[in-house]
Structure 1
Amino acid sequence: MISSCFARTKFLYNITSINNLNSILDYGILSKNIVRNQFQYTDISNSSVQNRRDNVYVTKSKMLHDYANLYFNPRNAMLYSRLSEVDNLCILKVDKDVLNLKDTVVSDRNAAVGGAKFMSPMQASRQLDFDIIYSQSWDFENPNMKLKYKSFMMAEVLVYKSIPPQLIKEIWVANKYAYEKVKQINPKVPIRVEPRAFFK
């Protein structure tokens, strides 16, 4: 199993709005292109970043938005930029066996950043800089170091089309308010208040 090569990786993570949970728990974590065409959803992403992602090819025939994305480290710049919305956000904790799915690709940094490398999970297990990926902060005085850490901490696992809902193992929220919102959905997976993951 490819996932067994990722010794430091226990789980992978998706950041989303609580409003999207019903459809995610029914249909899985879907690619941006599928969601746009088939579902109503709450988009928490940065529009300028998404515009860049719209034009990124992962392979010769597959675009970045043909993939559902996960992070190795959810405590990253994307989540930090949305802390004002934390009462309505959740982090989905996903089984790393997703790395075994056909056509899964890994980026060595934020996939929208120029210079991002796309590779197979097996290549990634040998080439990713996990010391940087699992860092707790990108707050360096040196601007080049800051940019590097900020980008590489957002290394992504890209799963073609969809991630099955049965691979979602837990839902993390920042506080009791968000916990109660998720609880009303009655998910069949545990809910956990995990403020540290949300920079609290």
Structure 2
Amino acid sequence: MGAVARAYAERIGDRKLQYITPIANTPSIMQYGILSHHGASQLAHIDISLGDVQRKRSKKEVVVGRTQLHQYANLYFDARNPMMYRRRSERSSLCVLSVSCDVLDIASTVVADRNAASDYARFFSPMAALDALDFASVFARDWTDPRAPVFYEKRSKKCAEVLVLDCVPPNLIVDACVLCEASAEQLSGKIGAGSGFCVKIDPDLFFE
């Protein structure tokens, strides 16, 4: 474990980063890794992202004048978030891949303090982000609020992102969570039951 990953472990415990994807995409992910939007566009895959959000993300710069948001694979600190909630009707066909925090020690990795598409998102080096992230909001189970501005702020911070340039290598994907036994069987069939890859069942993660 690198120095940055150790610093995060001290702050947030033994948590992994998380990536929401259709189970159908896992064979290519296990072969090529979790790709950026640009990279994934070169492969056949099921896209569960929202078109209007992706149009906004396509115009967003991360490192001004150098990199754009679509050049990064994006991971969540907590996949039990507004994105998952919006896709809960599809939850039996989804999985959440857990990624080692070692990606935070990759020199080009960037952390967004909220949904990276937000006009208010700020981008930090992973170490600097430790003091910038609102972890109470990131790991909150409930982001609702009767005050609209506060609700939008909570919802955006809940979706803080770790941005990995180009690709998260397959060897940093450590396990997966699914909704139920049927989903676990589907995932095992995609990646191979004898692969040794751990598949966990966690209905709560999928809002059931």
For the criterion TM > 0.5, the same-fold answer is yes
Look up the equivalent residue of 1:192 and give its one-letter code: K
User: What residue in structure 2 maps to residue 191 of structure 1?
Assistant: 199
Q: Spell out, residue by residue over 1:70-94, the C-alpha distance to the aligned partner (whole angstroms, 9 max, x if none).
A: 0011111011100111111000011
Alignment of 1:47-196 (within 5 A): 47-59=51-63, 60-185=65-190, 186=192, 187-196=195-204
Q: What is aligned with 1:4?
A: 6
Per the TM alignment, residue 102 of structure 1 is displaced from its structure 2 partner at its CA by 2.0
In 2: Cα distance, 1:151 partner to 1:70 partner: 14
Q: Which runs of 5+ in 2 are unaligned?
A: none
Aligned length: 199
CA distance in 1, matches of 2:185, 2:204: 18
- In structure 2, C-alpha distance between the alignment counterparts of 1:108 and 1:121, rounded to whole Å: 10
8 Å CA contact 1:168–1:189 kept in 2: the answer is: no
SS at match of 1:114: coil
Using the TM superposition, name which of 141-150 and 91-100 deviates more.
Answer: 141-150
Work out whether residues 137 and 143 of structure 2, in 8 Å CA contact, stay in contact via their aligned partners in 1.
no
Q: Deviations over 1:141-180 (max 9, x none)?
A: 1111111111001000000000011111111001122111
Task: Give CA-to-partner distance per residue, 1:51-70, whole Å, 9 cap, x none.
Answer: 11010000121110000010
Rounded Cα–Cα distance in structure 2 between residues aligned with 1:74 and 1:35 = 20
Q: Percent sequence identity over matched residues?
A: 38
Q: 1:194 is matched by which residue type in structure 2?
A: D
Q: TM-score, normalised by structure 1?
A: 0.97
SS of the residue 1:74 aligns to: coil
Over the aligned positions, Cα root-mean-square deviation in angstroms equals 1.0
> How many angstroms apart in 1 are the aligned matches of 2:66 and 2:196?
36
Distance 1:149 1:189 in 2: 34
Displacement over 6 Å in runs of 4+: none
Q: Provide TM-score, normalisation by structure 2.
A: 0.93
Query: Which residue of structure 2 lines up, in the alignment, with residue 41 of structure 1?
Result: 45
